[in-house]
Amino acid sequence: MQQPSDDDTADLLAPVPAVRTGDLVGYARVSTKGQLLDRQIRALTDAGCSRIFSDKKSGKNAEREELWKALDYLRPGDTLVVPSLDRLGRSIQDLIAIVSGLRKRGIGFTSLHEALDTTTPGGRLIFHVFAALAEFIRELIVQGTNEGLDAARARGARLGRPPAMTPRSKYVTPATCSPAPRTP
C-alpha cells in the first residue's frame, strides 16, 4: 500500500486507524440550557462509549469547552463518536477541519445517525465526497464573487473602502483649522 502524502485530500483517504484499538469517546451537544442531553447520552452509551463529554451551547459558538476537552482526551486508535453530524459542527467546513485533524492524529470518527465511520473504507469514501463537495461549493462562491467584482469594475463602480481624505480635506491642516466659535 502506498503511503499517503501530506496533502489533506490524501489524508482523508488514508487507512488510519484501520482497526479500532482504543476507546470510543462520545460527544453530545444541545443548543440551549433548557434542552436535555439524555437521549444523546443514551445513544452514545449504547454505542459503547467509555467516556462522554457534553456541551450546552450553540454549535456556532467556538467556545465549546467540552468539545475541546474531548479532542484533547483522544489518543491514537481512539474513535470520537457523535449522535449526529450537526452535534459536532454547524458547517461542512467545520466538520472537515475537525475530522481531518482527528485523522492526522490517528483517531477515528463515527456519526451514529448518518452511520458514518471513518475507520472503514466506505466511511472514508463518504467523508471524502463531503470534503470534495465543500471544496466545490467554496470554489463556486469564489468564482461568483470574482465575476461580480469584474462586472462592477466594468460598470465603473469604485470598489473597496471609501477614501479617508476628500478632495477638500487634503488642503485643510490642523494649522489652518480654527475651533468653532462658542455660543454662550
> What pLDDT does residue 5 have?
44
Mention every residue, 6+ apart, whose C-beta is less than 8 A from residue 82: 26, 27, 28, 88, 109, 110, 111, 112
Catalytic residue list contains 31: yes
Residues of the chain with pLDDT under 50: 1-10, 18
> What pLDDT does residue 158 have?
84
- Residue 111 falls inside a structural domain: yes
User: Which set of grid coordinates corresponds to residue 173?
Assistant: 491642516
- Residue 47 falls inside a structural domain: yes
| Whether the predicted model's global pTM rises above the 0.75 cut | no
> What pLDDT does residue 172 have?
61
- Residue 44 falls inside a structural domain: yes
User: Which set of grid coordinates corresponds to residue 98?
Assistant: 475537525
Cα dist from 165 to 20, 37, 116, 123, whole Å: 63, 56, 56, 57
- Residue 100 falls inside a structural domain: yes
Tally the domains of the chain: 1
- Residue 25 falls inside a structural domain: yes
> What pLDDT does residue 2 have?
37
> What pLDDT does residue 11 have?
52
- Residue 126 falls inside a structural domain: yes
Domain holding 98, by residue range, is 9-133
Angle at CA of residue 54, ends 48 and 60, nearest 5°: 125
- Residue 167 falls inside a structural domain: no
Name the active-site residue from 31, 50, 58, 100: 31
CATH value at residue 96:
3.40.50.1390
> What pLDDT does residue 1 have?
33
The residue with cell 449504547 is: 46
- Residue 181 falls inside a structural domain: no
Q: Among residues 122, 117, 135, which one has the least CA distance to residue 9?
A: 135
Give residue-wise pLDDT tens across range 26-76. Answer: 999 988 777 889 999 999 999 999 999 998 876 565 678 899 999 999 999
